[in-house]
Chains A and B, each alone.
Chain A
Amino acid sequence: MRRSLLLIGSTFLLIALLVAAWQESRRVKPVALTPTLTGKTEYCISCHGDLAEISKSHPVQTFGCVICHGGEPLALEATLAHSTMRGGKNPSDFSVVESSCGGDDCHSGTAESFSNHIQRGTTSIQATYAGAIALMRYTYGAQPDPAALYGVTSINKPASTTGVTSLVKYEPISESNPQLRLFGGSCLTCHLLVQPLVNGGRYDHFTGCAACHTPTQSTDLTSVDTSTDTNIHKLTTAISYTQCDTCHNRGNYDLRSMIFVARTDQPADRLHDYYQPIAQFTRCEYTLDCVDCHTRDEAMGDGNLYSSKFDIQYVRCKTCHGTLTELPQTLTLTDPDDISFRLALVNPVVELSLGDIILITEKGEALWNTRLLPDGTYQLVGKATGQVFTFKPVMGSGCLQDPADQGSASCHKCHSVKR
């Protein structure tokens, strides 16, 4: 009896030790990283060492992971390590962006005003949705003019120079007009704070900064599934039109039922994919990407609150082409600290040098991917494609334009593309 008990005991002992050894062998081997910027050791790369570098400006050896993502830096067990992450997979979600992208004075509150992306992005018309709300309320008689009163969140911006210094959180339930209640129930889904669409579909995107700067869509339209892996770890300023289309060209709202009607066409080329079938556009409007013409202020805001996208969107055909009587505005790069150099470094499709002459907008924003050529023509390099385009000014051409009418509809009369 005693011998049997000893045998059973030794068997259990061996099994227990084998189980312990097996569990130990399955444990994550700790790989430490001490980023230069924080000087604090973290073990995230023990599991995530295979992730691609998120961008050239954010090398992991310098930034590490925790400064953006949060989490428990010393934990090796996934649940614990991820328990205090900011924004789940997306630390740029506007609910946490101040402490992630904006933390440590990186993209918020810096001395360099052009780096205060958080203040600009969170007050931009794409984040507040104030323009659509104001326009709908004005249309249905709920307010006397289309000036913005409401946003998807409350915002106070006393320093705003547009006349709109605050927005109240929009509560459609309090609307008396049933159409506005329908609008509130169905249509408040087109802003940077909305729940992300990441289901593997053609118009998937993240929220916050990543909505634009993390490319969830492939530009290969011949591919059956154009969406990319939702675990994508990338930030870029080379933003393809396909990313803009995840919000701006995914369908329409039926203004009678206020129901979103998804785009159903399956275009296989850029000409048919860029704009929806009813749109009018010129050749450059579909061969370039949106970000080749539309500026940082237009897309990300300038820190002020606006009532309409048309109040911040100002680039027109003449910005690059001039008019019959005026050449487009240019800037000779003489300051080595000019922001153009920084932007060209982050997205190196062009190599700028002191003395280069680039185009600038009416507000003075640098179109750093353009250049005046010695023969008086201009060159633009696509920010997302790297494709080189040359173009001429209107002045001296046979253009029949009315110099006083610089709206795109005027140019479309002669230059729109047929498809």
Chain B
Amino acid sequence: MTDPRLSRRDFLKLTRDLLLTASGLLGLGGLLRYLDYQSQPPAPTEFDLGPASAYAPGSRTVLPQVPAVLIRTETGFSVISLVCTHLGCTVESKSDGFACPCHGSRYDLDGKVTRGPASKSLAELRVEIGLDGKLILHTQ
């Protein structure tokens, strides 16, 4: 009958194997983490705004992710950037136009400056309707 207790040699071997296995797993984890690293993606320049039919004529829809406002008129779509042309703060949509909360620039509903310090109108962004009827907004 064999001795059920581990011999010193087997104990050392088992310990070594466990240590090497743990090291291997740690190393593998590190490698996976390294390979999985993703640098910061560049800011999107194209936005899928969904079906054009979702926007009623006469509507003005703020798109905070851009930021911009989508305007649906009887004749089509237009998009005005909500980035203030003074220093780049995000302007707020008001009943009579847009107001910059940082330094007080005001714009009318078409994005034209009505009060400084901004001197340029809000930028107009390009929007198009894809073949599938979806609106695609381009910021560049």
Bound Cα distance from A341 to B12, whole angstroms: 81
B26/A342 in contact, CB under 8 A: no
User: Do A336 and B87 touch across chains, with their CB atoms under 8 A apart?
Assistant: no
- Interface residue tally for chain B (C-beta within 8 Å): 29
Interface contact A32-B40, CB-CB below 8 Å: yes
Chain A minimum-CB-distance residue to B17 = A10
Q: Which of B56-64, B102-110, B130-138 contacts A (4 or more CB under 8 A)?
A: B102-110
CA distance A56 to B104 in the complex (A): 11
Asked if A341 meets B87 with Cβ closer than 8 Å, knowing A14-B19, A17-B23, the reply is no
List CB contacts (< 8 Å) of A8-42 with chain B. Answer: 10-11, 13-14, 17-18, 20-21, 24, 32, 34-37, 41
B43 touches A56 (CB 8 A): no
Complex interface bits, B9-39 against A, C-beta within 8 A gives 1, otherwise 0: 1001101100110110011011000000000
Interface string of B63-83 (1 = CB under 8 A from A): 000000000000000000001
Identify B12's interface contact among A4, A17, A21, A36, CB under 8 A. Answer: A4
The yes or no answer to A112 lying at the interface (CB within 8 A) is yes
Asked whether B87 lies within 8 Å of A34 as measured between CB atoms, the reply is no
A332 contacts chain B at the CB level, 8 A cutoff:
no
Interface string of A77-94 (1 = CB under 8 A from B): 000000000000000000
Interface check A337, CB cutoff 8 A: yes
Assess whether A3 is in contact with B9, with CB atoms less than 8 Å apart.
yes
* B26 and A36 form a contact (CB under 8 A): no
Asked whether A57 is an interface residue with its Cβ less than 8 Å from the other chain, the reply is yes
Chain B at the A interface: SS class: mixed
For A320-347 the 0/1 string (1 means CB < 8 A from B) is 0000000000000000110001100110
A interface residues, how many (CB within 8 angstroms)? 34
- Taking a contact as CB atoms under 8 Å apart, the answer to whether A57 and B102 are in contact is yes
User: Is B117 an interface position by the 8 A CB rule?
Assistant: yes
Within 8 A of A (CB), among B73-115: 83, 87-90, 101-104, 106, 114-115
Inter-subunit contact A14/B12 (CB<8 Å): no
10 A-B pairs (CB sep. < 8 Å) = A13-B23, A14-B26, A21-B26, A35-B88, A37-B87, A56-B101, A57-B102, A57-B103, A62-B89, A342-B104
Task: Sort A-B residue pairs by CB-CB distance and give the 5 closest, nearest first.
Answer: A36-B88, A10-B19, A345-B104, A17-B26, A336-B115
Known: A36-B89, A62-B102, A342-B103. 9 other contacts (CB 8 A): A10-B20, A17-B30, A35-B88, A37-B88, A56-B102, A59-B89, A59-B102, A112-B117, A115-B117
